[in-house]
Chains A and B, each alone.
Chain A
């Protein structure tokens, strides 16, 4: 066998193996998605959006409480987490850049991004739930915010650093003060990238269950008081899916379907913004 033949064969084997691995990976994803879609679509009905939780056996049970709870939990987490993340990222890129403090913050956020979310749930349990003596929507939102923060912070930091320094200098050279340079020129240049980071951050926390189990807990009925335990799609899904009642399991499928579609949409939007930015 010549040297060339050997290389061609090695190349074919490697290509076959990597293709196979990719097919297996994507195959599982499609399998999960198809089961989710088949069962989820089957379980969907208008009642789901209009009715609150009901005891097993009652045909009129819905997910309204979980949908609204989910939106409130993620909404409040975003209201505080997004500006905080963007401002912190701005500090790193525009003010701290290469200082020791910024490097430490960057490293810690990287660690936080890979921290198991249940640990963050336990942390919020210890600092919020235990002292106040009860599970609450606020505790859930705080846990989600903590998970969201490093993602938004690091994307903002990265995206702002991609803005060429000559653009900043040009604005300074026209007599712009630093805050105007950042808001009017740098943010504008990094707009699409920051938006992507925000969407991916929100999508990430929207699918979290573990940190909510310890914090916002659950409620089978509609509650809009953030200081009380609050239902979420993820925890409801967990409870219903593991219950022995068929109609609850069906609601669990519906919750899984709705949540997956929501997160998928956020992810696709995020990628689209990024593509648009690169296409320029």
Chain B
């Protein structure tokens, strides 16, 4: 059984006995996983490739439902309800739980329209309100200074790091309660990576954050809690400073000391 540290904060999400099997697979990719996620904290998910960390991340906003025949069971509790039920309103859920992807995903439209996209989906039409909220989101994503003079330009003209910050601006513009980051810096250079990490840490006052990363230093730098996953199971969830210094499980220790991975 997994070693799970007692979380004192309020919980943003609670995974209970979650099992997930991809379409066509015989073996589940995630096995009976139970894990609490602390509110207004950063939880990092680490583990070797194929351990199920990205699969778990994409379960929080039901991304798997975009593809047919994936099977899952168990519960993920968010705001006192199980979001895995059939009658969950996915459109509303995804405005409350936002996501940033591995590769920047700027839409083929202007910088302004990119950030305004989620707001417009929610029916914000008032021009002044749109402009205000787009500006605020770009400021919060630390990219306003770089783009304020060219909001009408095609977003694909921005650099990779800028596009990723634009995507963060787009995600926080709709004021979600949880943000999911799926290896957000693996396609970026070290300077852009540092910028994004700083940004993520700054965001936790307003949103609860879960970040999947292949980079253990990154997990150690940004997160408050770290979960180590292996072969579809949560091996250990602990305070980051404790997990990396005094892991309770032998597997965790072997992984963070580089004995496998």
Q: Is A176 an interface residue (CB 8 A)?
A: yes
Q: Which residues of B contact A188 (CB under 8 A)?
A: 107-109
Q: Which residues of A contact B101 (CB under 8 A)?
A: 166, 169-170, 173
Please determine whether B174 and A175 come into contact, CB atoms closer than 8 angstroms: yes
Chain B nearest CB from A47 CB (Å) reads: 48
Give the size of the chain A interface in residues (CB under 8 angstroms). 20
Q: Which of B76-128 contact A (CB under 8 A)?
A: 90-95, 98-99, 101-103, 105, 107-109, 117-118, 121-122
Please determine whether B63 and A169 come into contact, CB atoms closer than 8 angstroms: yes
Whole-angstrom CA separation of A170 from B92 in the bound complex = 15
Most A Cβ at <10 Å: residue of B109, B117, B122, B171 = B117
Please determine whether A169 and B95 come into contact, CB atoms closer than 8 angstroms: no
Q: Is the interface of A mostly helix, strand, loop or mixed?
A: helix
Whole-angstrom CA separation of A170 from B93 in the bound complex = 14
Q: Which residues of A contact B98 (CB under 8 A)?
A: 173-174
Whole-angstrom CA separation of A174 from B171 in the bound complex = 7
Please determine whether A174 and B94 come into contact, CB atoms closer than 8 angstroms: yes
Chain A nearest CB from B96 CB (Å) reads: 9
Q: Which residues of B contact A185 (CB under 8 A)?
A: 107-108
Whole-angstrom CA separation of A176 from B66 in the bound complex = 12
Taken residue by residue from 192 to 221, chain A's Cβ proximity to chain B (1 for < 8 Å, 0 otherwise) reads as 000000000000000000000000000000
If the complex has contacts A175-B174, A180-B121, are A169 and B92 also in contact, measured as CB distance less than 8 A? no
Please determine whether A280 and B99 come into contact, CB atoms closer than 8 angstroms: no
Q: Which residues of A contact B93 (CB under 8 A)?
A: 175
Chain A nearest CB from B169 CB (Å) reads: 12
Q: Is A189 an interface residue (CB 8 A)?
A: yes
If the complex has contacts A169-B63, A169-B66, A180-B121, are A175 and B105 also in contact, measured as CB distance less than 8 A? no
Whole-angstrom CA separation of A176 from B118 in the bound complex = 8
Please determine whether A174 and B170 come into contact, CB atoms closer than 8 angstroms: yes
Write the chain B residue with the least CB distance to A190: B108
Q: Which of B155-182 contact A (CB under 8 A)?
A: 156, 167, 170-171, 174
Q: Which residues of A contact B223 (CB under 8 A)?
A: none
Whole-angstrom CA separation of A129 from B223 in the bound complex = 74
Chain A nearest CB from B95 CB (Å) reads: 4
Whole-angstrom CA separation of A175 from B117 in the bound complex = 10
Q: Which residues of A contact B174 (CB under 8 A)?
A: 174-175
Q: Which residues of A contact B99 (CB under 8 A)?
A: 169-170, 173
Please determine whether B105 and A174 come into contact, CB atoms closer than 8 angstroms: no
Whole-angstrom CA separation of A166 from B117 in the bound complex = 16
Please determine whether A171 and B103 come into contact, CB atoms closer than 8 angstroms: no
Q: Which residues of B contact A191 (CB under 8 A)?
A: 108
Write the chain A residue with the least CB distance to B58: A169
User: What are 5 inter-chain pairs, A to B, with CB distance below 8 A?
Assistant: A170-B107, A172-B66, A172-B94, A174-B98, A175-B95
Q: State the B residues within 8 Å of A (CB).
A: 61, 63, 66, 90-95, 98-99, 101-103, 105, 107-109, 117-118, 121-122, 156, 167, 170-171, 174
